[in-house]
Structure 1
Amino acid sequence: MTLPDPAPAHAARLWRPRRVIVTAAAREHAHGRAIMARAEALGLPVEALPGNRLTGLRHPDPRRAYIEAKNTLAVLVAPPTKLKLQPIPPSADWRIDLAEGCPAHCQYCYLAGSLSGPPVTRVYANLPEILDNLAMYVGQGGVTSASAERAHEGTTFEASCYTDPLGIEHLTGSLSAAIRHFGAWDAPVALRATTKFAAVEPLLGLEHRRRTRLRFSVNAAAAVRYEGGTAPLRDRLAAMGAVARAGYPVGLTVAPILALPDWREAYADLFAEAAEALDGVKDLDLTAELITHRFTPGSKEVLAGWYPGSDLPMREDERSRKLTKFGSVKYVFPAELMREMRQHLTRALEQRLPAARVLYWT
């Protein structure tokens, strides 16, 4: 197995939406105008809406609606509800939304059934207001703030619950702004972000003060084929090595763990590749989050419309039926298989990446 390059050997492929629409309210904010300028500098078609409603996003053909939505970037002002933060266990104390939607085409997409309407990527122009609002939540929360094991992380804010902030960073600059905000913040706080992309160059020179943990969502080689439009696994691991060498705390988000053929060897190989990417990093601060695949009847229906030819295994008779805390149905791996996978993956992780702290298995 060869050592990955310190950074991707070629320029990362950046998302270029076919349509950029900007509401009137978004244009009143400096950050909204900056996003417009970034898009125009890339030669993208930018449409200034006369009002604040996003129109022309629906299509009677679900597949066509999906394609058009996935090629649209909408710049708008986050509504007041976004300033009332929600807890996001087991990842962090609070969810912070810099955007909603993602340019990737993952056939297991967790956003399917979670967000209403076409899967347009929506980015928020009132970023300073969003960041300034976080101060009232410091010292509160039920994950790191209330955990003896993770209290050293301070109050944590998850920025990638409903988006991949790095996948749109070249258009928004929002992740860099958030990293600088947390780096300058004189309080026990931490920002968390997960990505399947690799264009980390804008982040390497920021004054992060180790208050942002950048995690890279990775999977076994056989599962990466379900992740259309994302960076190759090799590039993600190289990017993780690059940000770790720039002093960032880093993490592996292994998701969704699938019971594919030869899964034992496949995930052991993944951890070995990650270990090589991080070889020689000084003061390495590494975590791992292990997330098994699950689906709901609603998400399965949405995904079947988005990806009608997918062979992603989602058969109810091969899963265990569970109820969420909200009373809805979800399908997870049977308990015996879940135990076996947990034992094998945590053991393989300990062997190949002994520095990694496993935050949770779910």
Structure 2
Amino acid sequence: MASSPSPLSAPAAPRSCLWRPRQVLITRAARGFGHGRAMAERAAALGAEVVELAGDRLNLPKDLDPRAAYRAAKATLAVVVAPPSKRRLQPIPPSADWRFDLAEGCHAHCQYCYLAGSLAGPPITRAYANVDEILAVLPEHLGGGSVTSASPERAHEGTTFEASCYADPLGIEHVTGSLSEAVRFFGRWDAPVQLRFTSKFGDVSSLIGLPHGRRVRVRMSVNAEALIRYEGGTSPLQARLDALGRLARDGYRVGLTVAPIQPFADSPAGYDDLFARAAASLAGIPDLDLTAELITHRFTPASKTVLQGWYPGSDLDLDEAARTRKLTKFGSTKFVYPIETMRSLRASLQDMLQRHLPAARILYWT
């Protein structure tokens, strides 16, 4: 297997606690929704400064220091209203039939953040106040889609709706309450459907005991322990695995999103340890429904530029010469591992999964 310099000697990622935004901006329109006002109240109780905007535009102050602007944005939550264009569902292969958003942006500091270069403007987190309007659109898409709805192998999952494409809704749930609303919505929805979301945060207390109706699959985004140091401000790996066990015992369908997979010195041992620990956290759970999604590291020229600006001291491997250039379906460039590295990684990880978690269904490799 190809390898890069080992990150094993790096200090462990610090343990994280619940996010406490320093500032909350709430627009005039968002104040018209009880859900939006409740977000601002919860944030204020955590010590955030709540700023009630006169209108609906987020006019963020300019800062000549890009690092200071980045830090300020990452500590800011904006409570806004999702316009009709944001409530229009989009296909999201290979994960699910449809994507819908409860929020946009993330407060964590992952040095390989895939949102870098994808979202315009400063990296603030926007939470949507009109959750009822967002959820009301979903039934129109029942039975549609090109991933699970059209796949004989995954048809038993029903029409699937992904809620974590542009945000980690669990990481801000203690402020927004939006994810619990979505879980209850799917729990009441007596149809072949499934809510899906993935997270790097381990506080699942708000989800335990909710009437989810087995129509929710929670996946934890995990990686070899040696790579967790690139995920600043997130929960430790073991906390995520323990949370997955709690959810599975509460009847949720669960999954592992292994991402972004990277070769490093002794990576076979690192990934074997990951799956062994996952198996221990999920041991003895009756009716366990477990999936795995395997996603290798890739980047675009735009994301590389943004990430190197955000994390100038990072040793994350973004060497274009060591990658294969490919075109996305939109015609843009991305850099992925060479085919030999991909084959080696895939064979190795699939073998480990089969040994440690034979009940896991691998949904896709990419």
- Normalising TM by the smaller chain, what interval? over 0.9
Taking the aligned partners of 1:242 and 1:144, their CA distance within structure 2 comes to 26
1:97-153 per-residue CA deviation (whole Å, 9 max, x = no partner) reads 000001110000000000000000000000000001111111100000100011111
1:205-244 per-residue CA deviation (whole Å, 9 max, x = no partner) reads 1000111100000000110000000000010000010001
Structure 1 SS opposite 2:79: strand
5+ long unaligned stretches in structure 2: 1-14
Q: Superposition pairs for residues 219-238 of structure 1, below 5 Å? A: 219-238=223-242
Shift of residue 345, structure 1, vs aligned partner: 0.3
Q: Superposition pairs for residues 187-226 of structure 1, below 5 Å? A: 187-226=191-230
Name which of 179, 200, 205 aligns with 1:175.
179
* AA partner of residue 281 (structure 2): A
Residue number in structure 2 paired with 1:242: 246
Taking the aligned partners of 2:93 and 2:62, their CA distance within structure 1 comes to 33
Residue number in structure 2 paired with 1:7: none
Q: Superposition pairs for residues 78-89 of structure 1, below 5 Å? A: 78-89=82-93
Structure 1 SS opposite 2:330: coil
Residue number in structure 2 paired with 1:339: 343
Residue number in structure 2 paired with 1:325: 329
On the 8 A contact 1:12/1:198 being kept in 2, the answer is no
On the 8 A contact 2:16/2:236 being kept in 1, the answer is no
Residue number in structure 2 paired with 1:158: 162
Verify: 1:270 aligned to 2:298, yes or no.
no
Taking the aligned partners of 2:292 and 2:341, their CA distance within structure 1 comes to 20
Taking the aligned partners of 2:22 and 2:59, their CA distance within structure 1 comes to 16
| TM-score using structure 2 length | 0.95
Shift of residue 12, structure 1, vs aligned partner: 6.9
* AA partner of residue 214 (structure 2): R
On the 8 A contact 1:38/1:171 being kept in 2, the answer is yes
CA RMSD of aligned residues (A): 1.0
1:316-355 per-residue CA deviation (whole Å, 9 max, x = no partner) reads 1110111111111100000011001000100110000001
Residue number in structure 1 paired with 2:112: 108
Shift of residue 61, structure 1, vs aligned partner: 2.4
Taking the aligned partners of 1:62 and 1:86, their CA distance within structure 2 comes to 32
Using the TM superposition, name which of 257-266 and 173-182 deviates more. Answer: 257-266
Residue number in structure 2 paired with 1:8: none
Structure 2 SS opposite 1:75: strand
On the 8 A contact 2:21/2:43 being kept in 1, the answer is no
Verify: 1:284 aligned to 2:291, yes or no.
no
* AA partner of residue 273 (structure 1): R
On the 8 A contact 1:219/1:267 being kept in 2, the answer is yes
* AA partner of residue 113 (structure 2): C
Residue number in structure 1 paired with 2:315: 311
Shift of residue 41, structure 1, vs aligned partner: 2.2
Percent identity over the alignment?
66
Residue number in structure 1 paired with 2:98: 94
* AA partner of residue 194 (structure 1): T
Shift of residue 272, structure 1, vs aligned partner: 0.3
Residue number in structure 2 paired with 1:4: none
Q: Which portions of structure 1, spanning 4 or more consecutive aligned residues, are displaced by more than 3 angstroms? A: none
Q: Superposition pairs for residues 130-145 of structure 1, below 5 Å? A: 130-145=134-149
On the 8 A contact 1:320/1:331 being kept in 2, the answer is yes
Shift of residue 42, structure 1, vs aligned partner: 2.0
5+ long unaligned stretches in structure 1: 1-10
**How many residues in Structure 1 have an aligned counterpart in Structure 2?**
352
Using the TM superposition, name which of 59-68 and 310-319 deviates more. Answer: 59-68
On the 8 A contact 2:16/2:234 being kept in 1, the answer is no
Taking the aligned partners of 2:171 and 2:65, their CA distance within structure 1 comes to 27
Residue number in structure 2 paired with 1:261: 265
On the 8 A contact 2:184/2:212 being kept in 1, the answer is yes
On the 8 A contact 1:58/1:118 being kept in 2, the answer is no
* AA partner of residue 288 (structure 2): L
Compared CA separation, residues 250 and 57, structure 1 to 2 (3 A) = farther
Taking the aligned partners of 1:12 and 1:297, their CA distance within structure 2 comes to 30
Taking the aligned partners of 1:69 and 1:107, their CA distance within structure 2 comes to 16
On the 8 A contact 2:301/2:333 being kept in 1, the answer is yes
* AA partner of residue 347 (structure 2): Q
| TM-score using structure 1 length | 0.96
Taking the aligned partners of 1:38 and 1:190, their CA distance within structure 2 comes to 29
* AA partner of residue 261 (structure 1): A
1:148-170 per-residue CA deviation (whole Å, 9 max, x = no partner) reads 01111111000000000010000
